[in-house]
Amino acid sequence: MPPDTMPASVYVGDGALEVQTLPVPDVGPDEALVEVSHCGICGSDLHLVLERFARPGAVLGHEWAGTIAAVGDGVDGWEVGTPVVADDQRGCGECRACRRGRPSVCLRRGERDLLGFRGAYCRYITIAAPRLLRIPDGLSLRAAALTEPTAIALHAVHLAGVTPDDRVLVTGGGPVGLLVLAVLRSVGVTDVTVSEPAPARQARARAVGASAVIGPSDLGPVPMGRTAAHPFTVAFECSGRAAAAEAALDHLDYAGTLVFVGTGSEWPRVNQNRMIILELTAIGAYNYDAAGFAPALELLASGRLPVDLLVEPADIGLDALLPTMERLARGELPAKVLVRPEVSA
């Protein structure tokens, strides 16, 4: 039997998080109670906390893996103790977005409360049973916590239509950029340049398999009406910085594509003349492919991603969440940090 209360990291306003004791949620019919094993820190969590967008009382964290601790009435086929992640909600299959193969932006899905989100920086969460996916044998709960960001990286790569002939630029060598780089390598793309200022992240990008690692100043001004000397065919903007997006657009080749993956609070300026003359495309990649999380789970289970390089070696407790977010925002930690839902102090 699960306990009555649990530790949770709660956003209390003014950019602050506090570990509180909350009641373990009741399991409704057709739901499962999941004991969280690990939950990754997402760039969106950093924005919500450090830039103070979150609503006080929110528990953040959506990149989790865990074990079923209880099932509600009417739940068939799921047993206590099963290691799981939760897929995205299914699209309706009929609306314009679904018909275009983009069910994760289905027009008929319910309103999402992005600011007051009830997430997994706590010990237990409830999940609608149809969303559960079993973690394959041989894939650890810890590695499975990368399923959601891996699904995002796969989606970004698929939306761009990247092929092994492409010359790719990734701006931002943090957790998101490293995952995009690793996914690109896993689908046979070898020419990937990463632009990143922080030395720890530059070194990690090299280890993950970047063919070149540069600093932002290496993406200098490009002459008007011409391409850069060595332009890229596809760019993934993973830093959330306006200057990086502007430089990435400038350094695209004719018919090149920029994919926005990292969110940010300053907006880039778009040189429409360059976009017109070079017939550039800019797209946003926010969510997941129509196949949901299953391909990401499969890719992680295949062992083709260097998980040890994509995750920081030391997991943290709930009480270390805020200082770790600050370190991530400063670029001190190259890769994904996983949170254990416990208090270490």
Site residues for Zn ion per CB under 5 A: 42, 91-92, 95, 98, 106, 108
Q: How far is the CB of 189 from Zn ion (least distance, A)?
A: 23
In sequence order, the β-bridge partners of residue 235 are: 169, 258
Q: Judge whether 209 and 331 are in contact, CB under 8 Å.
A: no
Q: How far is the CB of 191 from Zn ion (least distance, A)?
A: 27
Q: How far is the CB of 25 from Zn ion (least distance, A)?
A: 21
Identify which of residues 97 and 242 has a Cβ nearer to Zn ion in the complex: 97
Q: How far is the CB of 60 from Zn ion (least distance, A)?
A: 10
Q: What is the dihedral of CA 214, 217, 223, 228, to 10 degrees?
A: 0
Q: Judge whether 171 and 248 are in contact, CB under 8 Å.
A: yes
Identify which of residues 62 and 158 has a Cβ nearer to Zn ion in the complex: 62
Identify which of residues 69 and 310 has a Cβ nearer to Zn ion in the complex: 310
Identify which of residues 42 and 170 has a Cβ nearer to Zn ion in the complex: 42
Task: Select from 160, 198, 159, 158 the least CA-distant residue to 178.
Answer: 198
Identify which of residues 126 and 150 has a Cβ nearer to Zn ion in the complex: 150
Q: How far is the CB of 240 from Zn ion (least distance, A)?
A: 13
- Max CA pair span of the chain: 68
Q: How far is the CB of 312 from Zn ion (least distance, A)?
A: 16
Rounded CA-CA distance 207/310 in Å is 10
Rounded CA-CA distance 116/104 in Å is 20
Q: Judge whether 41 and 339 are in contact, CB under 8 Å.
A: yes
Q: Tell me the Ramachandran region of residue 169: left when phi exceeds 0, alpha when psi lies from -120 to 50, beta otherwise.
A: beta
Sign of CA dihedral 46, 49, 51, 57: positive
HEC per residue, 179-238: HHHHHHHHCCCCCEEEECCCHHHHHHHHHHCCCEEECHHHCCCCCCCCCCCCCEEEEEEC
Q: Tell me the Ramachandran region of residue 277: left when phi exceeds 0, alpha when psi lies from -120 to 50, beta otherwise.
A: alpha
Identify which of residues 24 and 106 has a Cβ nearer to Zn ion in the complex: 106
Sheet containing strand 252-260, strands side by side:
212-214, 192-195, 168-171, 232-237, 252-260, 281-284
Identify which of residues 42 and 278 has a Cβ nearer to Zn ion in the complex: 42
Identify which of residues 36 and 280 has a Cβ nearer to Zn ion in the complex: 36
Identify which of residues 92 and 329 has a Cβ nearer to Zn ion in the complex: 92
Q: How far is the CB of 44 from Zn ion (least distance, A)?
A: 5
Q: How far is the CB of 108 from Zn ion (least distance, A)?
A: 5
Q: How far is the CB of 264 from Zn ion (least distance, A)?
A: 14
